[in-house]
């Protein structure tokens, strides 16, 4: 629809159908740059979150050491720590390290805030792996890291897939942190881009809605592909026997 058609009949079908709004967005270099920025940040966030959480969850689940439950509780308490409370100290810290207008300034905080939930999910799954399996691997000459890398991680694919999907979707939809850290247009992500585009074309409702629809497509496509993995991973390890 054109903006005039949308104002006249917002719930009706387009008459005639117009693809010019979508064409303008798809031929925009800014739109594709924002998509690439969001994808790059999401991939880096997911890789670091899953990698660090898997190693931490392995230690919490498979080994007994002094202070284990206390450290795990500290990680779990991160779920009760709202991001808004950390805005000012986080901004000061990122400025001190020179990470403003740097994608790492978004990736590292997202990883930190994603660790609690990821560790809790992976720890619960790792604890369902029989200890006899690790003993057999040790007798065959497999060290701790070898057991973790060659045996445990392949067995934990459903849980790893689940936390990877959650980390990716959370990073893709994050608006406040990129808005706070990335002020240069070349680093803007797609949620920030939608807000900027809406402000720039506030009177052209049809064009703004076309931009929003196209911005939603990658996330919806990813979730449609990963939905089965997400559900299977959440239920993996819930029962024994």
Task: Supply the pLDDT for residue 241.
Answer: 42
Task: Supply the pLDDT for residue 18.
Answer: 78
On whether the CB atoms of residues 170 and 118 are closer than 8 A, the answer is: no
CB contact burial 168-202 (16+ within 10 A = b; e otherwise): bbbbbebeebbbbbbeeeebbbbbbbbeebbeeee
Global confidence as pTM: 0.85
Q: Report how far residue 91's alpha carbon sits from residue 16's, in angstroms, rounded to the nearest whole number.
A: 49
The two structure tokens encoding residue 111? 């990883």
The 10 Å Cβ neighbour count of residue 228 is 10
Task: Supply the pLDDT for residue 240.
Answer: 47
> How confident is the chain (241 residues) per 10-residue block, as mean pLDDT?
75 78 88 94 95 91 84 84 83 92 93 91 86 81 83 86 89 91 89 86 80 87 74 55 42
Task: Supply the pLDDT for residue 97.
Answer: 92
Task: Supply the pLDDT for residue 105.
Answer: 93
């Amino acid at each position: 629809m054109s903006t005039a058609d949308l104002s006249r009949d917002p719930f009706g079908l387009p008459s005639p159908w117009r693809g010019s709004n979508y064409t303008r967005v798809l031929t925009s270099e800014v739109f594709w740059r924002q998509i690439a920025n969001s994808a790059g940040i999401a991939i880096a966030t997911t890789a670091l979150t899953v990698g660090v959480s898997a190693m931490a969850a392995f230690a919490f689940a498979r080994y007994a050491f002094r202070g284990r439950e206390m450290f795990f509780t500290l990680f779990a308490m991160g779920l009760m720590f709202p991001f808004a409370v950390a805005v000012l100290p986080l901004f000061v810290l990122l400025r001190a390290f020179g990470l403003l207008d740097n994608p790492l300034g978004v990736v590292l905080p997202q990883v930190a805030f994603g660790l609690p939930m990821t560790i809790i999910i992976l720890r619960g799954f790792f604890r369902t792996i029989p200890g006899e399996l690790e003993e057999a691997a040790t007798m065959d000459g497999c060290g701790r890291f070898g057991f973790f890398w060659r045996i445990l991680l392949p067995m934990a694919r459903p849980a790893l897939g689940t936390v990877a999907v959650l980390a990716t979707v959370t990073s893709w939809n994050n608006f406040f942190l990129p808005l706070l850290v990335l002020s240069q247009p070349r680093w803007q992500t797609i949620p920030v881009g939608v807000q900027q585009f809406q402000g720039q074309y506030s009177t052209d409702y049809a064009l703004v809605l076309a931009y929003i629809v196209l911005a939603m497509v990658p996330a919806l496509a990813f979730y449609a592909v990963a939905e089965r993995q997400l559900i299977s991973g959440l239920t993996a390890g819930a029962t024994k026997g």
